Amino acid sequence: MRSFYPLYLPWRTRSTQSRHGAAPGKLPPHIRKQTDRKLRYLATDITHPSLRIKRVRKYKEVFEGSITKDYRFLFQITPEGYILLRIGTHDILDTAR
C-alpha cells in the first residue's frame, strides 16, 4: 500500500462550482474543516473507515466518499493519484461528469 497519493484539486486552476457541487471556499466553514480532514485520510489511506469509499454505479470510473452524513465527495483514481470532481450533498451524483 502506498503511503501517499497526490490529490489533484481542479478548483485550484478553474472554478468547479455548480448548482450541485462546490469548491471548498463555497462550503460552510464546519464542512470545509471536515472536508480537509477527510481529504487527508484519502491521501494517506483510502481504506480509512470514516471515508466509506464506494464506486458510483452510474459512472464507471467515479468513486464516492463521505464527509458527513449529508455531504459527499466524488473522485477518480488515476495512475498519478486522485482527481477530486465534486463536493456537495447527495445530489452531486447527478452531475458527476
pLDDT tens digits, residue range 44-55?
Answer: 899 999 999 999
31-77 pLDDT, tens digit per residue, is 889 998 999 999 889 999 999 999 988 888 899 999 999 899 999 99
24 in Cβ contact with 38 (< 8 Å): no
Distance between CA atoms of residues 80 and 58, nearest Å: 24
Domain boundary assignment for the chain: 7-95
β-sheet with 81-89: strand ranges across: 7-8, 81-89, 71-78, 63-66, 54-55
Count, residues in the chain: 97
The CATH code for residues 7-95 is 3.30.2310.20
